[in-house]
Amino acid sequence: MTKIILVRHGQTKWNLMGRYQGQSDIELSETGMRQAETLANNFPAADISAVYSSDLQRAYKTASYIADTFGLNVVAKSGLRELAFGQWEGLTYKEIEAQWPEMLADFFTHPDKAVIPAGETFATLQQRGVAAIQEIVKNHPGQNVVVAAHGAIIRTILAETLHMPLRYIWSLRQDNTAVNIIRYDEEQRMIELLNSTAHLNK
């Protein structure tokens, strides 16, 4: 049995401003660093064998707090990066809505069909996210592994685990430093924890 502990990164300044980050390499805010440190100090698993992360610094730094607690190094994987938002990166909801109202509407109502100018589709995101997770599971049989990533890619991985169509991924909330646990028993997969932020109440 292998457990993948999926963690969303801590808060960034762009999160606060409502800017679409995508693959822009935005650092954690002071609050985000405190969130990550609190998670590391109250981690919901006592035994961790490896820590992986997106190579974007907001996820990598979040992973580093956890890795330090367990005396491990962080392995960065570009396949765990956030959805590429193309021309939307760095813009707010209102700025995007002013230029691409129909595309933005599809993004929330039909994410499975959404097109982002010069960006990535959710189907492509899910393919690379699931492939990254499958590789990690293969390399760590019978171990607990932390994977720090981003809201959209985590949603697509969870949706694939639940056999949920991509159209409904916005039903899966992902807060900053949320913890999700997926258990892999041979061919069977099971979600044991979803969007937990219990550590922030410590």
Per the document, the length of the chain is 202
Amino acid at 172: L
Beta strands in the chain (DSSP E): 2-8, 50-54, 74-77, 144-149, 179-185, 188-196
Please answer whether residues 182 and 145 qualify as being in contact, where contact means their C-beta atoms are separated by less than 8 angstroms: no
What secondary structure letter does DSSP report for 12? B
Please identify which residue in the block is written with the tokens 């005396």.
71
- Choosing from 110, 150, 163, 199, the catalytic residue is 150
Q: Choose, from 9, 110, 140, 199, the residue flagged as catalytic.
A: 9
Q: Which long-range contacts (CB under 8 A, 24 or more apart) does 162-169 make?
A: 162/191, 165/112, 166/111, 166/112, 166/122, 166/123, 166/126, 167/110, 167/111, 167/112, 169/111, 169/122
Q: φ and ψ at 92, to 5 degrees? A: -90, 170
The answer to whether 150 is a known catalytic residue is yes
Identify whether 199 is a catalytic site residue: no
Are 141 and 1 contacting, i.e. CB atoms less than 8 angstroms apart?
Answer: no
Catalytically active residues are 9, 150
